[in-house]
Amino acid sequence: MGNVIVWIIWFLAAAACLGTGIAVVSMTNPFYSALALIGNLASLAVLFLLLSAEFVAAAQMLVYAGAVMVMFLFVVAYLGGRADAPWAGGPPLLRGAAVVAAVALLTEIVVVLGLAWGDNLQDPAAVPGSFGSPAAIGEAFLTDHLLAFEITSIVLLVAAIGGVVLGTTREKEEAA
């Protein structure tokens, strides 16, 4: 019984994921695209929950959907009409090649997965209930992966500085 429910939830979440993904890529109004991405992120969070990654799911909603996408929406609002994104072309050779490349990649991945399914993708490991809990993540970050933790924080600092720099250097010119 529980299995069936999980399957249904998986199916709905996966469908939403792919559907919103296609929406993001194909909409002409960037505002709608951003909203579609928020939907995408939410369905991904559900998938994460199904994979016992509770903390990551929570972080995804809080950080990604909550902060990053809001920032995106701010910028879209600032740009107003200028942000409109029609589907206008580009060299047809380019478009054809792009589709071919993407399809090729997809096919390859499916093939590889197919080849590996029998051997490597059966029997996921048994995990304790605390797998993916904040406590476990926290412990891992602060013991085994401390360096990654610190470096990530530096990356964020650099990005913040970069953002400020990008935002303010032009003010003198604009004023003049």
Partner 1 sequence: MMIAAAWACLLSPLVGALTITIAGGRISRRAAGWIATLSTFIAFGGALVAFVGLWAADPSDREHVSTAYTWLAAGDFEVQVQILLDTLSSTMMLIVSGVGGLIVWYSMGYLAGDDEERRYFAYISLFVFSMLLLVQAGNFLLLLVGWGLVGLASYLLIGFWHYRPEAVAAAKKAFVMNAIGDATLALGLVLLIWETGTLEYSGVFEQVDGLSSTIVTLVALGLLGGAVAKSAQIPLHTWLPDAMEGPTPVSALIHAATMVTAGVYLLVRASPIFEAAPDVQHLAAILGAITLLVAGFIALVQWDIKRVIAYSTMSQIGYMFMAAGIGAYGYAIFHLMTHAFFKALLFMSAGLVIHHLDGEQDIRKMGGLKAVMPRTHIAFLAGALSLAGIPIFAGFWSKDGIVAAAFATNDALGAFLYAAGLVGALLTGLYTFRLYFAVFRGEPSELVKEHTHGHEAHGEGPLTMLIPVGVLAVLATVGGLVVIPGVWEPFLHWIDETAEPLVQATVTEDYGTSAIAVSLGLIGFVVARRAFHAGRQLVTNPGIWRVLEHKFYFDELYDALFYRPAAALSVALRRNVEEPVVERSLDEIGSGTIQVGGEVARVQSGLLRTYAVTIAFAVAVLVVVFVAVR
Partner 2 sequence: MDGPDVGWYLIVAAMLFGIGALGVMLRRSPLIVLLSLEIMLNAANLTLIAFARQQGDLDGQIFALAVMAVAAAEVAIGLGLIVAMARRRMLLDVDQASALRG
Considering CB distances under 5 to 8 angstroms, the limit depending on partner class, which of partner 2, partner 1, none binds residue 156? partner 2
> Could you give the C-alpha distances from 20 to 11, 66, 172, in angstroms and in order?
14, 17, 42
Name the amino acid, one letter, at 41: L
Q: Which of 118, 124, 117 is nearest to 52 (CA)?
A: 124
State which residue, 88 or 176, has the beta carbon closest to partner 2. 88
109 contributes a contact to partner 1 by CB under 8 A: yes
Rounded to the nearest whole angstrom, what is the least distance from the CB of residue 148 to partner 2 in the complex? 6
Backbone angles phi, psi at 33, to 5 degrees: -60, -40
Where in 65-124 is the site for partner 2 (CB under 8 A)?
67-68, 71-72, 75-76, 78-79, 82-88, 90, 94-95, 98-99, 101-103, 105-106, 109-110, 113, 117, 120-122, 124
With CB under 8 A as the contact rule, which of the stretches 33-41, 59-67, 90-98, 136-144 interacts with partner 1? 90-98
Least CB distance to partner 2 at residue 154 (A): 10
Q: Given candidates 105, 110, 148, 160, which one binds partner 1 under the rule CB under 8 A?
A: 105
Q: Is 51 in the site for partner 2 (CB under 8 A)?
A: yes
Nearest-approach distance from CB 69 to partner 2, in angstroms: 9
Tell me whether residue 93 or residue 166 sits nearer to partner 1 (CB atom).
93
Whole-angstrom distance, CA of residue 17 vs CA of residue 11: 10
